Amino acid sequence: MGDLSKPLLEQNNKGRKFEPSLGRRFHTNINRRFHVNSSRKPCWMLRPLSLKRCVLAVTILCLISIVYFSHYIFNSPLTSLIHRNTRPEPNIKCSVMNGPRLPQNHDHKTEARLRSDPKVLVFVETMYSKLGREIAELLVYTRIKYKVEVAGKSLPVLTNLDKGRYGVIVFENFNKYLQMDNWNRELLDKYCREYMVGMIGFINPSEETLVGAQLKGFPLFIHTNLRLRDAALNAASQILRLTRAGETAWGNLPGDDWTIFQANHSTYEPLEWAHRDDDYHHSENAIKTPLPTIVQDHGLYDNIQRVIFGSGLRFWLHRLLFLDSLSYLSHGQLSLSLDRLFLVDIDDIFVGEIGTRLKPDDVKAMLATQDRIQKMVMGFKFNLGFSGKYFHHGNSEEDKGDDLILENIDKFMWFSHMWNHQQPHLYDNLTQLIEDMTLNKNFAREKGIPVDSGYSVSPHHSGVYPVHDILYTAWKKVWNIRVTSTEEYPHLRPARLRRGFIHRNIMVLPRQTCGLFTHTMFIERYPGGREKLDESIQGGELFQTIVYNPINIFMTHMSNYGNDRLALYTFESVIKFLQCWTNIRLKTAPPLQLAETYFKHFPEEADPVWGNPCDDLRHQKIWSRNKSCDSLPRFLVIGPQKTGTTALYTFLSIHPAIASNLPSPDTFEEIQFFNANNYYRGLDWYMNFFPVDANSTNRYLFEKSATYFDGDLVPKRAHALLPHAKLITILISPAKRAYSWYQHTRAHGDVIANNYSFHQVITANDTAPKPLRDLRNRCLNPGKYSQHLERWLSYFSPQQLHIIDGEVLKSDPMEVMNEMQKFLKITPIFNYTTHLRYDPKKGFYCQVINGDHTKCLGRSKGRHYPPMEERSLKFLQRYYLSHNTALVKLLKRIGMRNVPQWLKDDLTDTPT
């Protein structure tokens, strides 16, 4: 019922303040009078006149109580019954919203000849420190390149020839810079001066409170551990670019460990001010002195420009100022564009339970809000996604709302959902999926809804990622879809890592949420209430999402536009807040234009990276029912070519607990998925080589593709899909491998191999014809073993890698297979002794069949080649010297005790 002990400001008729106990005294007096009149008989025994008086008294008492409590106790349930009007209205007040903005080309670029890369070097206290993680996450979100180093160690390499590696240096704890040893400090300062590199530092909170303490070596003094409020910006600062000055962020600033600055040198200029919280305990006429919380060092003292923050990134405004500082100190190399493309999708048009759908007034409010937003966002229109099956499935008022939407078709953009709003991954039949989409298209044509947007969204993002290929096929056939969007790639969370990709010529854009979902219809039921939603809008997650992403597609639902109309409130408010505090230019464009712009900005994202749906519960829920986590390989034989991979494949196939993929019509036993165009066929195509059966869970599935070993993209792709898989590679002398590859191509009729000697091939220079250079590279590059293994080990742990000596595989395959079974942890150990036998004609071991016969590899295996020329051997030993030396170090580092004999021989016999 409320807190009756709070003083009320109302006065009674005699001019006295209304006392908290007045209500109780009033009740007491009424009860006394009632008791006097009815002290002898209960109410129901009184005469009619007295009974009427009794009822009247009770009625008056109830009415007075209702008026009293509804007037003074605002948050009571009774109040909401009397007057229910909780629908929030945008209340962003900003005096500078319509003021002048930055010029179009304000990008901090200078005439200076820059000699540093647009990359940030971040010094952190530990790899797990909170502020360091926040800095790294912000750089990831904005796609700014960076490197993290733990402060206190020796400096990393700062230059590459005559070019600096970093454009800005950031210290999570500025004291780590101040306390550097003289050698490293002078080295870093010299680098900053010579390459015109700026520095950002944060004053970290400490238990000890400092008052007027001088920063070591600088004419700058600090006062720490303060509680502050009401932050404002220096409008004259040249740092401001993304951030807009002119307003005050009213209220308490987060934390009680702020640092303020005081300088006695002209090199320092405040960037942000705030006030002490205790200033507000004095009278309103007291002078409130603004205190610098961020200062810019113009470099007049020691020729190094800096920006020093008196607090971390908890305060939302500091995130913007940090980005502006990076832009300014890097002379514009690390500037974010001020242009933002902005689209609001409304899913589930015509879908929803009775009572949650749009009524005519809701549609009118949506149109009115759209008109207001259009004045702030060029070209803005809501983008409506419809499921025609549910048209006119509401009550009479909601059906009128459906009609009013269709009366204003031209006021909106449109895209297709599914006819019956079913998740596409539940369709196993392409024909059925096409029929569903065709029904929605026929509905659109009947109602006059545009059908040429080229954009569609799948209910619950099903089938987009993880990819359900028949969805992409049906989209192309029925709607000619060229663009879609999803929250799921590569994962739902964290949102900052969402990216785009292209599959089957359909561009998939990252989709964002605004904090509203199907069930968030009333502000009082919003998790955390209106305060939490406003926090997201006013500098929080929604605001920052638009700031950091150059292209934003937001997901909302029809239910968010009825009821309390939370979506209208949310978007109008956040756009106003953006206009108040930033110089961002918002514009809406059709999805196709958004997609083309996105992949123009981020062409490297066009290639997808297929993750493992089995590692994500959310992905498993929207994955095709006929797929199984048990049908993915548990280990890979990665090559390289001409080292004995086919023989190993044969030996593995003998094992009763091991099964390989089905053969490919093009590449036989090799799928060659991760390193070739097959990768773009998608995960469904790959998994079809591993059919599910009753024994899938008990088998060790594997695939062998010898070209995986030296593929640049293969380790990244393989790890994304099979992060827990084990890897098996076979190594022989790289010189011998190169010669074997050359002879292999000759035997297969390669024109270049048959027209050039081996020595001519391996010694060809970069001016040679391209086919000759290509053959040279295929001979030489796979033998750079350490280089390729390092790439694999950057994704997989050494414990996942098993290296086989190819010479031992040839001479003693039983021992090799036993060791490999131990590595794979297969029990019981399969005895290869009775299943392999040496064939003197072939010169290697073959499979024993039918008790006494052997089955060997084909004619192309085990060929006898003429010996390699001595000059070619010596050339190759010199060529691979550094690579073989690096291989020895790598093998020791990963714990391989026995260095292969061929490697010792190659290093011993290398000519000087």
Q: Which residues are annotated as a binding site for 3'-phosphoadenylyl sulfate?
A: 740, 845, 861-865
Whole-number CA gyration radius for the chain:
36
User: Omega of the bond prior to 608 within 30 degrees of 0, cis?
Assistant: no
3-state secondary structure of 849: strand
- Residue by residue, DSSP assigns 106-155 as -----SS---B-S-EEEEESSTT-HHHHHHHHHHHHTT--EEEEEBTBPP
**What tokens appear for 40 in the block?**
């002898």
Which of these is catalytic: 389, 642, 726, 810? 642
Q: Which amino acid is at 460?
A: H
Q: Which amino acid is at 587?
A: K
Task: Give the separation between CA 239 and CA 298, rounded to whole angstroms.
Answer: 11
Q: How far is CA 200 from CA 86, 131, 539, in A?
A: 45, 13, 22
Task: Give the separation between CA 535 and CA 348, rounded to whole angstroms.
Answer: 27
User: Which DSSP category does 784 fall into?
Assistant: -
β-sheet bridge partners, residue 222 = 213, 261
Which residue is listed with tokens 């010169």?
843
Q: By C-alpha distance, which of 562, 580, 550, 463 is closest to 518?
A: 562
Q: Which residues are CB-neighbours of 324 under 8 A, at least 6 positions away?
A: 239, 240, 241, 242, 243
Query: Element (H or E) spanning 79, and its range?
Result: helix 77-82
**What tokens appear for 167 in the block?**
């454009």
Question: In this structure, how many other beta carbons lie within 10 angstroms of the beta carbon of residue 779?
Answer: 24
β-sheet bridge partners, residue 153 = 151
**Pairing label, strands 228-233, 220-226:** unpaired
Under a CB-based contact definition with an 8 Å cutoff, are residues 8 and 72 in contact?
A: yes
Task: Give the separation between CA 610 and CA 743, rounded to whole angstroms.
Answer: 36
- What are phi and psi for residue 726, nearest 5 degrees? -100, 155
3-state secondary structure of 185: helix
Judge whether 642 counts as a catalytic residue.
yes
Under a CB-based contact definition with an 8 Å cutoff, are residues 228 and 291 in contact?
A: yes
**690-699: long-range contacts, CB 8 A cutoff, minimum separation 24:** 690/631, 690/632, 690/633, 690/661, 690/662, 691/631, 691/662, 692/626, 692/628, 692/630, 692/631, 696/628, 696/630, 696/631, 697/630, 698/657, 699/657, 699/658, 699/659
Task: Give the separation between CA 432 and CA 423, rounded to whole angstroms.
Answer: 12
Q: By C-alpha distance, which of 190, 169, 187 is closest to 329?
A: 169
Task: Give the separation between CA 58 and CA 620, rounded to whole angstroms.
Answer: 63
SS3 per-residue string spanning 427-492: CCCHHHHHHHHHHHHHHHHHHCCCCCCCEECCHHHCCCCCCCHHHHHHHHHHHCCCEEEECCCCCC
Count of H helices and E strands in the chain? 29, 31
Q: How far is CA 96 from CA 92, 228, 248, 369, in A?
A: 12, 24, 11, 21
Helix axes 901-908, 734-747, angle to 10 degrees: 100
Query: Element (H or E) spanning 888, and its range?
Result: helix 881-893
Task: Give the separation between CA 774 and CA 761, rounded to whole angstroms.
Answer: 9
Q: By C-alpha distance, which of 336, 337, 334 is closest to 122?
A: 334
User: Omega of the bond prior to 828 within 30 degrees of 0, cis?
Assistant: yes
- Residue by residue, DSSP assigns 304-357 as --EEEESS-S-SHHHHHHHHHHHHHHTTTTTPPPSEEEEEEEEEEET-S-TTSS
> Which residues are the active-site residues?
642
